[in-house]
Amino acid sequence: MDVIAKSILPQLLDKLAEDDIPNIRFNVAKTYGVLIDVLRRLPEEGTIYALEKEGASFTPSPRGMELIQSRILPKLEKLQKDDDVDVRFFATTAANSVTGAAASGEPMNTSP
């Protein structure tokens, strides 16, 4: 989790989220979505692989959830206001993965 918090987010994704090229920004939004999925499953102790092997249920760690709330969602909120419709779409999709809004059939606003 330290690698995500100290390297991946600030050194890579947060910088690329500001890139001039829309395709870079929408791929950043998609990557945030993958990180949300990983952080929601990453236990406080051990690995996702170990939990899957044991058949244990996934309980998100408080630290992982804090990273999602404080570091990832604010960036996705900004990307949801992007001028590019594809960036807004992927940012909205990633943000909805936290709440499950996309699965519940709520409409997605892709307007700037």
Which alpha helices (H) appear in the chain, and where do they start and end? Answer: 2-3, 14-16, 22-41, 48-54, 62-67, 73-79, 85-99
Domain count, the chain: 1
Range of the domain at 42: 2-99
CA-based torsion, 30, 93, 78, 98: positive or negative? negative
Does 105 fall in a domain?
no
Could you tell me which residue, 6 or 80, shows the higher pLDDT?
Answer: 80
pLDDT digits (tens, 9 = 90+) for 12-66: 888 999 999 999 999 999 999 999 998 988 887 778 888 788 887 777 789 989 9
**Torsion-angle region of residue 105: left (phi > 0), alpha (psi -120 to 50) or beta?**
left
The CATH number of whichever domain residue 23 belongs to comes to 1.25.10.10
Does 59 fall in a domain?
yes
Residue 51, SS3?
helix
Q: What is the pLDDT of residue 99?
A: 74
Does 18 fall in a domain?
yes
Asked if the model's pLDDT at residue 69 lies above 80, the reply is yes
Q: What is the pLDDT of residue 105?
A: 43
pLDDT digits (tens, 9 = 90+) for 77-109: 999 999 999 999 999 999 999 876 544 444 555
Q: What is the pLDDT of residue 51?
A: 79
Does 108 fall in a domain?
no
Does 111 fall in a domain?
no
